[in-house]
Amino acid sequence: MPEASSALVEAVGIRKRFGALTVIDGVDFVVHEGDAVGIVGPNGAGKTTLLNIISGALRADAGTIRFAGADVTRASADRRCRLGVGRAHQIPKPFTGMTVFENVFVGATAGARRGGQAACDVCTEALAACGLLHLRNRRAESLGLLDRKRLEAARALATGPRLLLLDEIGAGLTDAETAALLETIAGIRAQGIAIVWIEHVVHMLVRAIDRLVCMDAGRVLAEGDPATVMSDARVIDAYLGSRVA
């Protein structure tokens, strides 16, 4: 286990309410450089809300968040993006009317504030890493589901992240497409980028991560080695409903 000082993300005592509903209830969450952390849990457990708070899309009602040692609790999403927090959403959101390359170029320029040849080089590298270089001149809206998900990841990669947040990007894919997506994620990890991945396709998730977190009712129910967490009686009761091999 890395030293505490090597933590890339440190979220302490995070709380979030929407009206009378408590969605995040005192969560502590740590990600180290190069980590691959999976998050599972039933619908409504607070998983996506936690990612939104880490990315800056939502502001926590209580608690603190540090990224690479800096307090970003009140920092905007674009500020966190420039510091190195990338995000890929559950439902791909390509910019229609633009090519695949142009979509990724937005990440390099608006997200990372690169320009000129440097931005073009970053886009080419991101597209290659996500298996999309041969489709760079295609209109984004013409892509199939797998390639739209890859485009979502490539656009985030072009911002130069140290941390990549993935929200159920395996949803809706066939087994063959799932295998292809896992290769893409493995390539991203090989660059030293830390990953936090929410996923309901558990058999895919556990092949890509080192540590698993199960959330329920806005709290961390169990955390640790994926096999140990998945066999935890509390996780079975709250999420799985039956024992998983």
For residue 245, pLDDT beyond 50: no
pTM: 0.90
- Rounded alpha-carbon distances, angstroms, from residue 45 to 27, 216, 223: 12, 4, 15
240 band by pLDDT with thresholds 50, 70 and 90: low
Return the amino acid letter for 170: G
Sign of CA dihedral 79, 83, 84, 85: negative
Backbone angles phi, psi at 237, to 5 degrees: -65, -40
Helix (H, G, I), strand (E, B) or coil at 8: strand
The two tokens of residue 59 are 């502001």
Backbone angles phi, psi at 86, to 5 degrees: -105, 155
Q: What is the pLDDT of residue 63?
A: 97
Shortest CA distance to 185 belongs to which of 201, 203, 170?
170
Q: What is the pLDDT of residue 4?
A: 42
- How far apart (Å, rounded) are the C-alpha atoms in residues 200 and 97? 31
Which residues lie below 8 Å from residue 18, measured CB to CB, with a gap of 6+?
none
Backbone angles phi, psi at 114, to 5 degrees: -90, 165
Percent of the chain with pLDDT over 70: 95
Q: What is the pLDDT of residue 90?
A: 83
Q: What is the pLDDT of residue 171?
A: 85
Look at 245 and 209; give whichever has higher pLDDT. Answer: 209
Helix (H, G, I), strand (E, B) or coil at 153: helix
For residue 162, pLDDT beyond 90: yes
Shortest CA distance to 72 belongs to which of 82, 80, 61, 60?
80
Can you spell out the DSSP letters for 136-183? Answer: TTSBGGGS-HHHHHHHHHHHHHTT--SEEEEESTTTT--HHHHHHHHH
Shortest CA distance to 55 belongs to which of 69, 38, 32, 72?
72
Helix (H, G, I), strand (E, B) or coil at 41: coil
For residue 68, pLDDT beyond 50: yes
Return the amino acid letter for 4: A
Shortest CA distance to 158 belongs to which of 56, 51, 82, 80?
82
Q: What is the pLDDT of residue 244?
A: 47
